[in-house]
Amino acid sequence: MMGHMRPVIICANWKMSTTPAEAGPLARAIADATDVPDVLRVICPPYVALASVGDALVGTAVSVGAQNVHHETRGAYTGEVSAAMLAGLATWSIVGHSERRRDQHESDELIGRKVIRCVEAGLRPMLCVGELLEEREAGRAVDTVAAQLRASLEVVAADGGGVPHDLVVAYEPVWAIGSGRTARGADAAEMADAIRRTIAAITSPRQADAIPVLYGGSVTSASIGEFLDEAAIDGALVGGASLKADEMAAIVARAGITAAARSEVTATA
């Protein structure tokens, strides 16, 4: 049973798509098409489009996020972007996305340091976790995700500030990203419960219950309903579908139904 009314969040991850000239109009089109009460909307464009997207979203309730931050505050890291550099450009950041784990070989401990950098810079962190196909087929999906989360958050907790209260976790089964395959809603809900149990062991059950868990794995307007039907799932991290305003409109509209239902339950509780 959910002790808190967690927010419903739809986050667009544009990955390496859009130029600055393309990004602004797309962001505005999405904002205009998704003005739904009680759904938090975030757009994470490439670094080079952060300013144009921010300008396009002035006057809307859509937030801007970065797709990554560096784990150090400054230094000789050619081509990297620190959390502090994002001040004024973004208010969120994704960390630990599976593509960075795969391509840049980011460890759980390093990702924990990125969460710390986000907190220091006032960015809301969205921590991604997820298993490979072979890990799921071997029956190790829950253990894998719990280990990722534990290793990252123990680094954060050891820093002295504790697990941030505004943390968001995105469960993205790696085998479902860009493959056209998706997990089942029940599978995602089971993982969300495991994620909160892991967080509870590091912080407290109350804080763990308040942390939103999103699903991210080839989310589309056709599949989003199955995940939002699960009380443990609080929204989605959307990849390719987030580059289409009509897809985002349908996804956020469905998220609005979940948000309205949660508000009604809270009001009558």
Q: Which residue do the tokens 């219950």 mark?
A: 209
Q: Which residue do the tokens 């799921």 mark?
A: 136
Closest CA to 47 of 79, 75, 71: 79
User: Cα separations (Å) of 120 from 82, 95, 127, 246?
Assistant: 11, 14, 15, 36
Per the annotation, the verdict on 97 as an active-site residue is yes
Can you read off the two tokens belonging to residue 36? Answer: 């739904």
**Nearest-angstrom CA–CA distance, 221 and 150:** 32
CA angle 226, 229, 235 (to 5 degrees): 85
Per the annotation, the verdict on 137 as an active-site residue is no
Report the interhelical angle of 108-121 vs 141-158 (nearest 10°): 50
- 70, 97, 106, 247: the catalytic one is 97
- 131, 135, 172, 247: the catalytic one is 172
Write out the catalytic residue numbers: 97, 172
